[in-house]
């Protein structure tokens, strides 16, 4: 399945992801600038902050327990569409999902 990442400068990167991978893992494995994923997905760093595209917020779903607390530490502006990309697991309905990247993670 595919994930499209759109950087703050508008540049797009399309990567392949396997079912069950997190969006953070797919980004890190494909060297997508803009996702660091420092804690490896254990919800301790917020360097995987992303914005879900408006057309995908419903399919992706809202923040999980504890996510908003961690997003308070995110380097870039937190919006209604903000998620920790390590907490978004790829599944069939998310094939083609579009994820926007914040300007900075640190
Ligand atoms: S990778 Fe650290 S919170 Fe997501």
For ligand 1, the distance from its centroid to the CA atom of residue 33, given in whole angstroms, is 15
| pLDDT tens figures, 20-41 | 999 999 999 999 999 999 999 9
Q: Does residue 71 have its Cβ closer than 6 Å to ligand 1?
A: no
Give residue 49 CA to ligand 1 midpoint distance, Å: 8
The per-residue pLDDT for range 57-77, each reduced to its tens digit, is: 999 999 998 999 999 999 999
Q: Residue by residue, what is the 3-state secondary structure of the chain?
A: CEEEEECCCCCEEEEECCCCCEHHHHHHHCCCCCCCCCCCCCCCCCCCEEEECHHHHHHHCCCCCCHHHHHCCCCCCCCCCEEEHHHCECCHHHCCEEEECCCCCC
Q: Is the CB of 63 under 6 A from ligand 1?
A: no
What is the arithmetic mean of pLDDT over 44-54? Answer: 98
pLDDT band at 18 (very low <50, low <70, confident <90, very high): very high
């Amino acid at each position: 399945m595919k994930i499209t990442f759109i950087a703050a400068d508008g540049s797009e990167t399309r990567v392949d992801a396997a079912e069950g991978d997190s969006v953070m893992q797919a980004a890190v494995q494909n060297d997508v600038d803009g996702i660091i994923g420092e804690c490896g997905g254990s919800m301790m760093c917020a360097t995987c902050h992303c914005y879900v595209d408006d057309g995908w917020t419903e399919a992706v779903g809202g923040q999980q327990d504890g996510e908003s607390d961690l997003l308070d530490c995110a380097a870039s502006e937190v919006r209604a569409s903000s998620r920790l990309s390590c907490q978004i697991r790829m599944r069939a309905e998310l094939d083609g999902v579009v994820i926007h990247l914040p300007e900075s993670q640190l």
